[in-house]
Amino acid sequence: MGNVTENIVMERLNELRTQIRHHDYCYYVRTMPEISDAGYDRLIRELEALEARYPELATPDSPTQRVSGEPLEGFTQVTHAVPMLSLANTYSKAELKEFDDRVYKLLGHRNYEYVVELKIDGVAVALVYEEGLFVRGSTRGDGVRGDDITANLRTIHSIPLRLRKPKSIALPPLLEVRGEAYLSRAGFERLNQEREDEGQPLFANPRNAAAGSLKLLNSKLAAQRPLNIFVYGAVTAGLADTHFRSLDLLEEMGFRVNPHRKLLPNVAKVVEYCDSWEDSREQLEYETDGMVIKINLYSQHEQLGATAKSPRWAISYKFPARQATTKLQDIKLQVGRTGAITPVAILEPVELSGSTISKATLHNEDEISRKDIRIGDRVIIEKGGEIIPKVVAVITSLRTGGEKVFQIPDSCPVCGGKVERPPEEVASRCTNPLCPAQVVGSILHFSSKNAMDIEGLGPALVEQLVGNRLIADYADLYSLRQEDLAALERMGGKSARNVIEALERSKSRPFSALLFGLGIRHVGVVAAEKLADLFGAIEALADASVIKLQEISEVGPVMAKSTSGFFRDPQTFRIIEKLRQAGVKLAADTSIPVDTRFQDKTFVFTGELTDFTRSQAEGLVKQWGGKTSSSVSRKTDFVVTG
């Protein structure tokens, strides 16, 4: 190649690399792209073509060089120029104030400021730049020596391969920064979905997924992992006098620095800022497990120094943990009021978010096989919004081989009845309607707050009542006498009287509450209210066909079928008669026809109505003493066409 051609090619290569670097920075660091994907691809393709044609002009910092060639045999070790310490943790505001007191004592004055940042839940990495070029990246390891994971880190687009020069200072010849490589929540979900599709074991959380991805020996594979980074500090001295200013400079150099950072004048403001993140962190695209609080002035870092493990100029404030690790000792089965069998994990007790956890839900058998949960496994449990924690994952690497695969049995663990799994359902069910677990469950549901709200009727008492054959269903509750209750173990005369009074009070619960309490499958509180409003009385609802039920906007085909099926069951008929005898409300208060203008008149509605839905119009007719029918006959008094 002649000198002239070489110069022209070099010029174009430089131009392309500069442009692509700029667009990478806009896209990956500032997340504000300036050109279209197609425009970007055109630049990349031109650069790739030129580099392929003139391989001698290719450079390691070219944007095309993010993925290296051959997989590694293993990682080489890197000794960190400055040890990678960790942070001392605090878990309460009081401990934060103690930290502040220590700083005050050591410095001898209150003339200091704090920088507060999010503590990103990922993997600590060190990045080394020589003359502005990324030369080495490593894991923390034991703090002194870590693994050289340069090839994998190069695949992270938000790690600059070449630094930009900040306006106010020259680039230091040698620069080492520290940061946290992580996977976003969405990236983690996507990765696990792919792994599930391919039948590979799932990662327990984004942090494990990030750690696993950085330790891949083949950087082509690492490049496919949605890794990202936030850089949170420089170890090279002399960039600036303060940490806050350093972060701005690092950002100017092209590093991705977390935007949620604040310079605060005192510990009270620090506590306030930490508090403000406790809930809002859930809205972030990535996971944080706390906040990091650092003294701003570097000269004060020097003064404060470090212990063997952690600096005295920084501390982390951890949010209450929502995950814990423990051993799954057994899987027990719970039979619900509809016969649904729910597996429950029995755990070695462990502390989580301030309480001791010994049980967790496993949802259903599909979930157990999807997560490959075995008895004896070490598992990760998590407390989300729900009260009962769930098992999120198994730590398969800790298996000993003695773990047992779990299978739902063919017969009900409570009554021995046949267990079946209806097609298209996720749960197996006990098919015996007289199963004591179902009976107890349905009685507890009947007495629950949103249903008949019968205070004092807890699981232990209901089990005793059913076990002693004092009652066989919830309608029997109303035939209980005070002396029946008082004769039971652990029941005094006073408690017995309270229960009888609560039962009496429940008779004035509204019709909608009773309807919910009947425990018709798929009929929740809202649907029960709707049905009570529209039908006004139990007979009208019992007469409704599946088709008619489905016409109601809130009632889908599944609910329509189960409601109709419930009232076709002879057992239901007997229960309702008992309830009628007891004097509970089997009709809505409004259905007592104060206005009897349609007394004994039968209406048929056809077509669409303009001011009501058809069900609403039918409800009104019933409220005013009339009847409705779906077809015209000799009994019809009025036909209302839409």
Query: What is the separation of C-alpha 251 from the centre of its chain, rounded to a whole number of angstroms?
Result: 32
The pairing of beta strand 602-606 with beta strand 638-641: parallel
Among 117, 403, 476, 529, binds ligand IVH (CB under 6 A): 117
Tell me how far, at minimum, the Cβ of 59 lies from ligand IVH, in Å: 30
Residue pair 298/69 in contact by the 8 Å Cβ criterion: no
Contact code string over 324-363 relative to ligand IVH, x by CB under 6 A? ----------------------------------------
Long-range contacts of 342-348 (CB under 8 A, 24+ apart): 342/427, 343/368, 343/406, 343/408, 345/373, 345/379, 345/381, 345/391, 347/379, 347/381
First to last CA, the chain: 86
Q: Residue 523 interacts with ligand IVH (CB under 6 A)?
A: no
Residue 165 bears catalytic tag: no
Residues numbered 423-442 forming contacts with ligand IVH, rule: CB under 6 A: none
The stretch among 186-194, 311-319, 390-398, 497-505 that binds ligand IVH (CB under 6 A) is: 311-319
Where in 133-287 does DSSP place strands (E)? Answer: 133-139, 145-147, 174-183, 227-234, 261-264
Q: Residue 83 interacts with ligand IVH (CB under 6 A)?
A: no
Q: Residue 478 interacts with ligand IVH (CB under 6 A)?
A: no
Residues in CB range of 213: below 8 A, 6 or more apart = 152, 183, 222, 225, 227
Q: Residue 132 interacts with ligand IVH (CB under 6 A)?
A: no
Q: Which residue is nearest to ligand IVH (CB)?
A: 124
Q: Residue 86 interacts with ligand IVH (CB under 6 A)?
A: yes
SS3 509: coil
Tell me how far, at minimum, the Cβ of 384 lies from ligand IVH, in Å: 23
The stretch among 84-92, 324-332, 363-371, 470-478 that binds ligand IVH (CB under 6 A) is: 84-92
Tell me how far, at minimum, the Cβ of 105 lies from ligand IVH, in Å: 21
Among 16, 20, 47, 85, binds ligand IVH (CB under 6 A): 85
Q: Residue 87 interacts with ligand IVH (CB under 6 A)?
A: yes
Tell me how far, at minimum, the Cβ of 43 lies from ligand IVH, in Å: 33
**Cβ closest to ligand IVH, residue 92 vs residue 571:** 92
Q: Residue 124 interacts with ligand IVH (CB under 6 A)?
A: yes
Residues in CB range of 549: below 8 A, 6 or more apart = 555, 559, 560, 563, 564
The stretch among 69-77, 79-87, 96-104, 149-157 that binds ligand IVH (CB under 6 A) is: 79-87
Q: Residue 113 interacts with ligand IVH (CB under 6 A)?
A: no
Find the catalytic residue in 105, 119, 578, 627: 119
Q: Residue 137 interacts with ligand IVH (CB under 6 A)?
A: no
Among 51, 100, 147, 180, binds ligand IVH (CB under 6 A): 180
With b for 16 or more beta-carbon neighbours within 10 A and e for fewer, the 70-98 pattern comes to eeeeebeebebeebbbebeebeebeebee
- Output the 3-class SS for 66-89: CCCCCCCCCCCEEECCCCCCCCCE
Read out DSSP for 391-407?
Answer: EEEE-GGG--S--EE--
- Output the 3-class SS for 439-506: HHHHHHHHHCCCCCCCCCCCHHHHHHHHHCCCCCCHHHHHHCCHHHHHCCCCCCHHHHHHHHHHHHHH
**Cβ closest to ligand IVH, residue 118 vs residue 443:** 118
H/E stretch holding 517 reads: helix 511-517
Residue bearing tokens 């950087």:
219
Kindly give the residue spans of alpha helices, DSSP state H, lying in 525-556: 525-535, 538-543, 546-550
Contact code string over 198-237 relative to ligand IVH, x by CB under 6 A? ----------------------------------xx----
Q: Residue 120 interacts with ligand IVH (CB under 6 A)?
A: yes
Q: Residue 292 interacts with ligand IVH (CB under 6 A)?
A: yes
Q: What is the contact surface with ligand IVH in residues (CB under 6 A)?
A: 85-87, 117, 119-120, 124, 180, 232-233, 292, 311, 314, 316
Instruction: Please give the positions annotated as active site.
Output: 119
